[in-house]
Chain A
Amino acid sequence: QQQVKQSPQSLIVQKGGISIINCAYENTAFDYFPWYQQFPGKGPALLIAIRPDVSEKKEGRFTISFNKSAKQFSLHIMDSQPGDSATYFCAARAAFGNEKLTFGTGTRLTIIP
């Protein structure tokens, strides 16, 4: 019940295209859903996050779409650039009990010219 399933494992997108990464969860106690970007040899950095009271959040080229009934959320990267090539992790955290983040398995995104 603590799992967060992420797909695809890897993704290749042409420059200027839209990159889409999907995550699904089971625990209905999750109330915070961040996405992290990680470059090789570096720690993850928060990209964008959403709470379940909204269905979409946009920050620049990055958008999270959230479907509470389906327990799914996705990251859309518009106008993908080579500099977006990185590993992306979705995560989820429950409101009560602790502050632990449960991470997805990661998606390695490669943007090709």
Chain B
Amino acid sequence: GAVVSQHPSRVICKSGTSVKIECRSLDFQATTMFWYRQFPKQSLMLMATSNEGSKATYEQGVEKDKFLINHASLTLSTLTVTSAHPEDSSFYICSASKTSGNEQFFGPGTRLTVL
């Protein structure tokens, strides 16, 4: 199979703090990882695409200085929400693909609540 994990599954933090979310491909090497944000009862919105060892490509309207993405290895990507505010509260989902053009495998998501 192709399993993607995320950690933590839920996180609650105070406004102004930073939160790091990890995305790991457990049984394959992910050349590309994607980060999505999903608000309640809405679709997935792509935030950024990251390739191992290179800078992430952010979608229009996504602040790269606020949402820091690091894809340090072929099995790990991290998303850091810096200076989080209540409006950043959302469901963050990562996905990973094995090679260019192949299927994306999604993680279970991380529920972020900013108080």
Chain A residues in contact with chain B, CB under 8 A? Answer: 32, 34, 36, 41-46, 49, 89, 95, 98-101, 103-106, 108
Contact = CB atoms under 8 A, between A and B. Distances in A.
- Nearest 8 A/B pairs, CB to CB: A43-B106, A43-B109, A103-B43, A43-B108, A43-B93, A103-B44, A105-B43, A106-B43
Given A43-B109, A99-B32, A100-B49, A89 B43 contact: yes
Given A95-B101, A99-B97, A99-B100, A42 B46 contact: no
Contacts, number: 52
Main secondary structure of the interface of B (DSSP, over half): strand
A95 B100 CA distance: 10
B106 A45 contact: yes
Contacts of A108: 41
Nearest to B6: A43
B46 A101 contact: yes
B43 A43 contact: no
A29 B49 CA distance: 19
Interface of B: 4, 6, 32, 34, 41-44, 46, 49, 57, 91, 93, 95, 97, 100-101, 103-109, 111
Contact of B104 (A89, A95, A99): A99
Contacts of B111: 41
Given A49-B103, A105-B43, A106-B42, A44 B93 contact: yes
A105 B45 CA distance: 10
Nearest to A101: B104
A103 B46 CA distance: 9
A98 B101 CA distance: 8
